[in-house]
Amino acid sequence: MFKIIKSDIAIIKERDPAAKGILEIFLCYPGFQAIFMHRFTHKLWKLKFPLVPRILSQINRSLTGIEIHPGAKIGKKVFIDHGMGVVIGETAEIGNNCLLYQGVTLGGTGKSHGKRHPTLEENVVVGAGAKVLGSITVGANTRIGAGSVVVRSVKGNSTVVGVPGRVVHQSGVKINPLAHSALPDAEANVIRNLMDRIDQLENQINRLQKTIQSLINNEVFDTSKLGDAQNIKDKEIIEFLGDDKN
């Protein structure tokens, strides 16, 4: 237990330049305090005495603003930064070296028993206000952008943005977990793509009008200038909208 707590402190010192010392982390970091308390409540939960750990988790919530069900499994070096409003459900699992920001929800869907909350594999970063819902798995080294809502499993080494969350693959690229500005703007890319298509279609319509006028006037025209229409189902738009038939 001491080694795990020591690793929890080490990851805060590594990832937060504002952390000045161990005493400050103990007294002023609600994310650390919430996980510290959870490690004890989780042990009690495994002893099949649910009421006591549930009461302690409610006290933990009141003191830190972070709600962690005592049944949740949390690995080593997990950092909840700021943490206000974070909710972690009963069957949620968080792997080593994960980073969660304020307002994150690892929630369930439906009223079924058993596994109903998400699993985060190692080195996952979940941005502020993001919601990861249901019995899904988020692969290792994945980043979830702020405000995203993820309801489907995500393969490793991916970036997820949007509502619902959509995947932009960045396999093999090592990215600083704190570099939120590096997140791709999938919506802007698709809008720019569609604007280009509209511009091209307008140009094609103008050329067709001139061609028709030339035919009416029995003038010779060059068909090579008509151009080819672009396919609206290009890779970028398909990745953003999805290609599901359901």
Predicted local confidence at residue 160, as pLDDT: 87
Computed on alpha carbons and rounded to an integer, the radius of gyration of the chain in Å comes to 25
State the sign of the Cα–Cα–Cα–Cα dihedral 10, 22, 59, 52.
positive
Residue 2 pLDDT more than 50?
yes
Q: Are 111 and 85 in contact (CB under 8 A)?
A: no
Domain coordinates in residue numbering, the chain: 2-182, 186-241
Average pLDDT over residues 109-134: 89
Q: What is the DSSP letter of 153?
A: -
What is the pLDDT averaged over residues 177-191?
Answer: 62
Query: What is the spatial distance between Cα 195 and Cα 203, in angstroms, rounded to a whole number?
Result: 12
What is the distance, to the nearest Å, from the Cα of residue 171 to the centroid of all Cα atoms in its chain?
16
Pairing type for strands 149-150 and 131-133 reads parallel
CATH level 3 topology of 2-182: UDP N-Acetylglucosamine Acyltransferase; domain 1 (2.160.10)
Residue 246's pLDDT is 47
Structural contact between residues 25 and 6, judged by C-beta atoms closer than 8 angstroms: no
- pLDDT band for position 243 (cuts 50, 70, 90): low
